[in-house]
Amino acid sequence: MEYLSLTAAQQCILQHTLQLGVETIPLEHALRRVLAEEVYSNRDHPPYDVSAMDGYAVRAADLSCTPSELTVVEDIKAGAMPMMAVLPGQCARIMTGAPIPQGADTVIRVEDTQPVGNECVQILCSALYGTDIRSRGENLRNGELVLGCGTEITPGVLGILAMVKRTEVKVRTRPRVAILSSGDELEGLYAPFDSDKIPDANSYTLMAQVQALGIEPVLLGIAQDDPIELSRYLMRGLAYDVLLISGGTSVGVYDFVRPTIEALGIQMHFWRVAIRPGHPLAFGTTPTTRVFCLPGNPVSSMVCFEQFVLPALRDMMGHTRLFRRTITARISKPMKHRAGRTELIRVTLDADEQGYQATPTGAQGSGVLLSMARAEGLLLIPNECDGLHAGASVTVQLLEGAAYQQHSGIAEGI
Amino acid sequence: MEYLSLTAAQQCILQHTLQLGVETIPLEHALRRVLAEEVYSNRDHPPYDVSAMDGYAVRAADLSCTPSELTVVEDIKAGAMPMMAVLPGQCARIMTGAPIPQGADTVIRVEDTQPVGNECVQILCSALYGTDIRSRGENLRNGELVLGCGTEITPGVLGILAMVKRTEVKVRTRPRVAILSSGDELEGLYAPFDSDKIPDANSYTLMAQVQALGIEPVLLGIAQDDPIELSRYLMRGLAYDVLLISGGTSVGVYDFVRPTIEALGIQMHFWRVAIRPGHPLAFGTTPTTRVFCLPGNPVSSMVCFEQFVLPALRDMMGHTRLFRRTITARISKPMKHRAGRTELIRVTLDADEQGYQATPTGAQGSGVLLSMARAEGLLLIPNECDGLHAGASVTVQLLEGAAYQQHSGIAEGI
């Protein structure tokens, strides 16, 4: 049976992702969704020239000799319109964000001034014309395209949407995902305890991996190793956009999955990928569903999800950033590797002056889920590599939970 | 007025975080929460010695001459118990995860065998005793402590919880967070359009930043610049664990926030931090509430949230990883910097063979929210730095949205 390379398998999957629809949702629910419309500004922002500082709005020409003394004609706060023009020898006390009065062209921050009684102020410095004024429309110009279709709604983007008063936004829908485990040996989470059974962890690791992408999946349960039962479960699963099946793809005589899948008209694109852990990975399609057959081992299943399902789900959601962030790290001990397959080693990361050092989390057996629970990243050993020496520079994919670290990364004396 | 360093301000805040309670929640809702109990295994896993491969369970001593021919006495599938012992010259066909029959001590994978009729098999290789057998209790041992208090529930951890059949888990509660904007100039998202007003973006960027941590905040609205109204809003806000106020902390005459805050008995710990953007940041406490006064500028407010509020909220949720992941990058152009404050420059990241290159997102004015919307990270210029040359190595905090990238990072021929 042919083994695809990791990259070829990813490309095959991404060539077959589904185009889903769009929906309109309240701004309050829009974080991490992807815009399905162009967004234009409905106003100039700021709406007029405003002060960037608390201080005094002055005429720069008045500051030729330092210090200069000016008459304060008005107090202007943010949200109030100036009543007076500033004439030569005059100024206005002004707040950050308040409109610049007519005649003034420059703002002097309060730290560079000295009050003289209530109605006069000494300006202790000179300033360039226009200093500390933010111009009308500097941030957004009325009618301007501010956010394109396909933009991921981060907190900053959501702020722009609020600025242009979008209470609702059109976004890409999220795929509906179903998860199925298969195998007579499995015991469901809510099933009675049987010490001879294997608890079904895969449904829950996959559930969590899907949830981490902002999608609430449906757990279909456990299909026994019986073609009629499996067929019934698969038909339920084919009502979803994406069906994840764990277990049942190995080559043995008791595997009903392959023939049952093919009998349902699912077109299979590949059955094996040259990676470790995780090689028994299969991918198929119907006109409306993408089907991933993941390995039964929990670690293999999780690693395959990361490499194959995650980019496909992000693609369906409209994202352009499909893959986990990678960083460069060094390894402290040499690593053996047999060329011909891509290996993904679970590692923790430690920062020092030279950057990150990656250390394997211990036993790398595909049943050792604790090693995945402890991992901050997956170290990628390329397929043509025939081993890595100590100190070698490697690429590490950051896993869920590794978006945060213990140290601030800020170098400063206190 | 004294300016604290960024690190000193973070330390002050973290010394004052609230200890919150614990709650019991279904496993299905536990992703990204923090365990508030120790978790022990309730079984051996695997429950017996199992095959790690599809193949044949053999006696290693039978393989001294290669190839060797063995009689197949039984088919053993996962979830079924073996009925026969394997005697010398015999073997059993076995599936991944199926129990090893009595007498067998080694598994030969199916790829290394050749069937001879229905009841015999040729084994084409020899093997070390114990090969491809996973021992009872190899992954989890009954009664063993598997997850400590304070563990973040990642997908891998959630899988371990499913393995030990935890349908519910005790986790740390999340802080209740309220958000308040202040300023006469502000127009609410649902208020009628007024071209002279400034739309309130801060409530929504802060909302999204809080949501990104898994907390659904309450938006209190906009308090006008009036001490009685502000006081009423603040009293509502003090019913929460954390109150975020944006705007109103500058030094000008129209600021009612400081006296109003102090009149309510909020003990203020500092009013200024030596960072840019974001220096007008204040922090106060009551016995039950942590109060952050954030700058009115949207970018400054977002940057202050990242540096000060985010670690505090993560600490209250029980996390030990409080800070955004940082990476090392190079800069392509020199950067000016005035020693004495820490600067945070919005950048995008591009990967090349030497790692990451960081490029500022354009205008760095604190009103330019688009620059924050486009940023993948914040480049940290330390306070004692007096400028960076082109090619300098810098630290970049990865922002929300930067957990994913466009390229897989996998180097391989297809």
Give me the residue from B110, B183, B399 closest to A252, CB to CB. B110
Q: Which residues of A touch B96 (CB under 8 A)?
A: 250, 252, 296-297
Q: Which residues of B touch A250 (CB under 8 A)?
A: 54, 95-96
Interface of B with A in 216-275 (CB under 8 A): 225, 250-254
Among A382-386, B12-16, B256-260, B327-331, where is mean pLDDT lowest? B256-260
pLDDT value at position A413? 52
Please answer yes or no on whether B93 and A399 come within 8 Å at the CB atom: no
Q: Is B145's Cβ below 8 Å from some Cβ in A?
A: no
Interface of B with A in 178-217 (CB under 8 A): 183-186, 189-190, 193, 195-209, 211-212
Q: Residue B327: beta bridge partners?
A: B396
Indicate whether this complex's ipTM tops 0.90: yes
What is the DSSP secondary structure assignment for residue B6, as one 8-state letter?
H
pLDDT value at position B254? 47
Is the per-residue pLDDT at B74 higher than 50? yes
Q: Is A412's Cβ below 8 Å from some Cβ in B?
A: yes
pLDDT by position in tens, chain A (length 414): 678 999 999 999 999 999 899 999 999 999 999 999 999 999 999 999 999 888 999 999 999 888 999 999 999 988 789 999 999 999 999 988 899 999 999 999 999 999 998 899 999 998 999 999 999 998 899 999 999 999 999 999 999 999 999 999 999 999 999 999 998 889 999 999 998 899 999 999 999 999 999 999 999 999 988 889 999 999 999 999 999 999 865 554 346 778 889 899 999 999 889 998 877 889 999 999 999 999 888 999 999 999 999 999 999 999 999 999 999 999 989 999 988 899 999 999 999 888 899 999 987 776 688 889 999 999 999 988 989 999 999 999 999 989 999 888 887 654
CB distance A217 to A177 below 8 Å: yes
- State how beta strands B393-398 and B326-331 pair: antiparallel
Q: Is A326's Cβ below 8 Å from some Cβ in B?
A: yes
Kindly provide the b/e burial profile for residues B339-367, where b requires at least 16 CB atoms within 10 angstroms of the residue's own CB: eebbbbbbbebebeeebbbbbbbeebebb
Q: Mind listing the pLDDT tens digit for each residue in B304-333?
A: 999 999 999 999 999 999 999 999 999 989
Q: What is the mean pLDDT of residues B270-292?
A: 92
CB within 8 A of B341, min separation 6: which ones?
B3, B274, B275, B276, B279, B383
Is the per-residue pLDDT at B47 higher than 50? yes
Give me the residue from B139, B251, B383 closest to A54, CB to CB. B251
Q: Which residues of B touch A186 (CB under 8 A)?
A: 79
pLDDT value at position B284? 96
pLDDT value at position B102? 96
Please answer yes or no on whether B398 and A252 come within 8 Å at the CB atom: no
pLDDT value at position B397? 96
Q: Is B93's Cβ below 8 Å from some Cβ in A?
A: yes
Residue found under tokens 């929990």? A298
Closest residue in B to A322 (Cα–Cα): B406
CB distance B319 to A404 below 8 Å: yes
pLDDT value at position A95? 87
Q: Is the peptide bond before B311 cis (omega within 30 degrees of 0)?
A: no
Is the per-residue pLDDT at B347 higher than 50? yes
Provide the token pair at B174: 């999340």
Please answer yes or no on whether A351 and B326 come within 8 Å at the CB atom: yes
CB distance A357 to A390 below 8 Å: no
Q: What is the mean pLDDT of chain B?
A: 92
Please answer yes or no on whether A414 and B190 come within 8 Å at the CB atom: no
Q: Which residues of B touch A342 (CB under 8 A)?
A: 410, 412
CB distance B81 to B136 below 8 Å: no
CB within 8 A of A280, min separation 6: which ones?
A249, A250, A251, A271, A272, A293, A295, A300
Å between B263 CA and nearest CA of chain A: 23
CB within 8 A of B123, min separation 6: which ones?
B56, B58, B62, B63, B66, B67, B68, B69, B70, B91, B108, B112, B113
Chains A and B form CB pairs within 8 A to the count of 405
CA B360 to chain CA centroid, Å, is: 25
Q: Mind listing the pLDDT tens digit for each residue in B196-251?
A: 899 999 999 999 999 999 999 999 999 988 889 999 999 999 999 999 999 865 55
Closest residue in B to A164 (Cα–Cα): B199
From CA B357, how far away is CA B349, in angstroms rounded? 6
From CA B198, how far away is CA B202, in angstroms rounded? 11
pLDDT band (50, 70, 90) for residue B380? very high
Q: Is residue B169 classed as helix, strand or coil in its secondary structure?
A: strand
Q: Is A162's Cβ below 8 Å from some Cβ in B?
A: yes
Q: Is A140's Cβ below 8 Å from some Cβ in B?
A: yes
Is the per-residue pLDDT at B414 higher than 50? no
Q: Which residues of A touch B162 (CB under 8 A)?
A: 189, 199-201, 203-205
Of the candidates A204, A401, A208, the residue with the CA atom closest to the CA atom of residue B31: A208
Q: Which residues of A touch B382 (CB under 8 A)?
A: 410-412
Å between B230 CA and nearest CA of chain A: 16
Å between A46 CA and nearest CA of chain B: 7
Provide the token pair at B313: 């909220």
Please answer yes or no on whether A401 and B161 come within 8 Å at the CB atom: no
pTM of the model: 0.94
Residue found under tokens 């992702």? A17
pLDDT band (50, 70, 90) for residue B86? very high
Provide the token pair at B54: 């599809």
Q: Mind listing the pLDDT tens digit for each residue in B27-46?
A: 999 999 999 999 999 999 99
In terms of pLDDT, which residue wins out, A152 or B65? Answer: A152
CB distance B261 to B285 below 8 Å: no
Please answer yes or no on whether B382 and A412 come within 8 Å at the CB atom: yes
Q: Is A400's Cβ below 8 Å from some Cβ in B?
A: yes
Q: Which residues of B touch A147 (CB under 8 A)?
A: 373
pLDDT value at position B253? 39
| Three-state secondary structure of chain A | CCCECHHHHHHHHHHCCCCCCEEEEEHHHCCCCEECCCEECCCCECCCCEECCCEEEECHHHHCCCCEEEEEEEEECCCCCCCCCCCCCEEEEECCCCECCCCCCEEEEHHHEEEECCCEEEECCCCCCCCCEECCCCCECCCCEEECCCCECCHHHHHHHHHCCCCEEEEECCCCEEEEEECCCEECCCCCCCCCCEECCHHHHHHHHHHCCCCCCEEEEEECCCHHHHHHHHHHHCCCCEEEEECCCCCCCCCCHHHHHHHCCCEEEECCECEECCCCCEEEECCCCEEEEECCCHHHHHHHHHHHHHHHHHHHCCCCCCEECEEEEEECCCECCCCCCEEEEEEEEEEECCEEEEEECCCCCCCCHHHHHHCCEEEEECCCCCCECCCCEEEEEECCCCCEECCCCCCCCC
Q: Is A117 exposed, middle or buried (0-12, 13-18, 19+ CB in 10 A)?
A: exposed
Q: Which residues of A touch B134 (CB under 8 A)?
A: 365, 367
Give me the residue from B195, B254, B406 closest to A77, CB to CB. B254
